[in-house]
Chains A and B, each alone.
Chain A
């Protein structure tokens, strides 16, 4: 189990440690600065923290001594253009590029872009093939001014196979390290978009996409208008209608060993992004979405207005320990797969991302 939990907030990075069965804040970093994404690279132990400084742009920090010291690295930046060139406004997701791709990192951004570093973040190259997708002109912002690459899934069997989720812009799949991309959202639909184009790949709002490490053909997506599941490597998707207490949400986590087990944190609906009946709940399925349990033990059941963002639900390698942080600055951990939750911090800034490692 991982006994370290990194929590990125609107006002800094918090490092929690578990000691004698209790989680507590062990260190703080970058206090006052918004943190958009975190990564603990299991290949070399490096930590990465992405900042979104309101005035001075996005920054990427790296630590090679467990957070004792940090070094600012060059952040991904769009190529210079003569006409209406893009500027990265948010580092939305950061992933390692596979066990056999030493030093390689993928970064997804707002506006929608995908960047690759082959040198542990020392330099970045934009993925031109994704930038040149004709469908990209129809991507649009979902909660932000521009579309963003919010999820990157690298197939553990073959690091060249990459599946990304764009909010709003669909699911895209590459089999060749990002040299080419194809739409991979068949079966999804957007009920916020006028027909007949509501089934078009580029209008699907993929809040969060996760892939089961032990069964990579199994993927789960928390979509803007519901939950979808694929069991054939994102070739086709089936809508999940059994989730309760609601189908709206941002976060999803999949069990690392069991593709049929997944967790969601539902909210009422698009136009009311709050827990149903002001009771915070986690929805869990153990049977591939045939049924869901509503987990509430240890979670506030009166006047709870916590929303869990898409990167603020994390699961460790065992599949029994999860953590989630809310927009209201509450942080919960479960040690039993969600049966019961313990609030381990309650006065934090709004939480954008949590990550074990």
Chain B
């Protein structure tokens, strides 16, 4: 099971505590998360199920490579961190 954490900025809008989820790819892990919290999908993925332009997903401290299909492989003890790309305003 991978650990999945979310930025506090996102938790301001929607309940998404630190959690564990199974799956061998970033998409598979997130699909398990969305199965529990369906509303979370539209905050992280766009209409075409790609990572939103201004959202970043890091896997073990490295930015994921495949933002379109989310095919980066995930191991049992890996950590995913979902946060916002920083911008002003």
Contacts and interface: CB of A to CB of B under 8 A. Distances in A.
A87 interface: yes
Nearest to A32: B12
A80 B49 CA distance: 8
A54 B89 contact: yes
Contacts, number: 51
Interface in B15-66: 39, 42-44, 46-50, 52, 54-55
A45 interface: no
A86 interface: yes
Interface in A29-82: 53-57, 59, 72, 74-75, 77-81
A10 B55 CA distance: 20
Nearest to B48: A85
A87 B42 CA distance: 11
A315 interface: no
Contacts of A81: 48
A88 interface: yes
- Interface size of A as a range: 10 to 19
Contact of B46 (A53, A59, A79, A87): A87
A56 B84 contact: yes
B36 to A, nearest CB: 17
B55 A55 contact: yes
B42 A53 contact: no
B47 A55 contact: no
Contact of A87 (B10, B44, B47): B47
Given A55-B9, A55-B54, A57-B42, A80 B47 contact: yes
A56 B13 contact: yes
A344 B64 CA distance: 49
Given A55-B9, A55-B85, A78 B54 contact: no
Contacts of B9: 55
A85 B68 CA distance: 11
Nearest to A51: B13
Contact of A77 (B13, B39, B43, B47): B47
Nearest to B10: A56
B78 to A, nearest CB: 23
Interface of B: 9-10, 13-14, 39, 42-44, 46-50, 52, 54-55, 84-85, 87, 89
29 contacts: A53-B13, A54-B89, A55-B9, A55-B52, A55-B54, A55-B55, A55-B84, A56-B10, A56-B13, A56-B44, A56-B52, A57-B42, A57-B46, A57-B52, A72-B14, A72-B39, A74-B42, A77-B42, A77-B47, A78-B47, A78-B48, A80-B47, A80-B48, A80-B49, A81-B48, A85-B48, A86-B47, A86-B48, A87-B46
Of all A-B residue pairs in the complex, the 6 with the closest CB atoms, nearest first, are: A55-B84, A85-B48, A87-B46, A87-B47, A56-B43, A77-B47
